[in-house]
Each structure stands twice: as structure tokens, then as C-alpha cells.
Amino acid sequence: MPHRILMIDDDREMVTLGKLILKREGFDVLFAFSGAEGLEILNNQGDSIDLVLLDIMMIGMDGWQVLETIKGSEKLAHLPVIMLTARHYLEDESETKNYEHLFNDYVVKPFVVRELLGKINKLLEENQSETA
């Protein structure tokens, strides 16, 4: 059974690109265009999701708020989360440091596909060995 990834990003072009890349690699991909929509999917299907790709800068509920909700939930806290952003880590360093204990990795858009896939596969392997 393929790993299932939820991509939460309000940029429809980024979601389309992400779906193409991830499906080509054999992943089952769910997507949400807002933090609230992503949390609704997680609350309904969280048991079947293996990893979350989460944009930071979104209208309404931003990625940090979504991340806090995920990690504050007993049901979802185990999920690995990769933060996606158009801003470099150092641009948001003080804010990022406040949350770095909650997320597993950080990828700057536009990303190198091999790099993103490497991070995803590494986290999925780590998470699988922890739950085995």
C-alpha cells in the first residue's frame, strides 16, 4: 500500500506540481488549499496519512497555527511534518526557532525535487521504524 501524503498549501499551482511529483513517485496524495481544510482532512482521515507537507504562509490560518494544532492533538501528534515556504529559513529565523521542535524538516520553494523526495522518504522510513 502506498504511503499517503497530505499537502496543505493555498497555492494551487504548487499543489498541482506537488501532486504530479508525488504521484509519479508512487505516493497517494491528498491536498487542501487552507489550514482549516487540511485539519478537517486530518481529523477525518488522520489514521491513513503518513506525512504532511505544510505551507507556512497561507491566508487565514497560517502553517504555524496548523502545525500547533497537529502537534497538540493526541491523535495526530505522531505525524511527521515538513514545512514548505517561499522564504528562506534565515528570513524567518526567530519565528522558525519558536516552532522547530514541532516540525521534522523545512524546505524552501522553489525546491529541488530530489531534495524534497529524499526528505520525505527519510522521514517515512524513520517513522515506520519507530512504529514497527
pTM of the complete model:
0.92
- Residue 1 pLDDT: 84
Range of the domain at 81: 4-131
12-42 pLDDT per residue, tens: 999 999 999 999 999 999 999 999 999 999 9
Q: Report d(CA 48, CA 17) in Å as an integer.
A: 22
The mean pLDDT of 74-89, rounded to a whole number, is: 87
CATH of residue 38: 3.40.50.2300
* Percent of the chain with pLDDT strictly greater than 90: 73
**Number of domains, the chain:** 1
If we measure between CA atoms, which residue out of 130, 128, 126, 6 comes closest to residue 66? 6
Beta strand segments in 1-132, E: 4-8, 28-32, 51-55, 81-85, 105-108
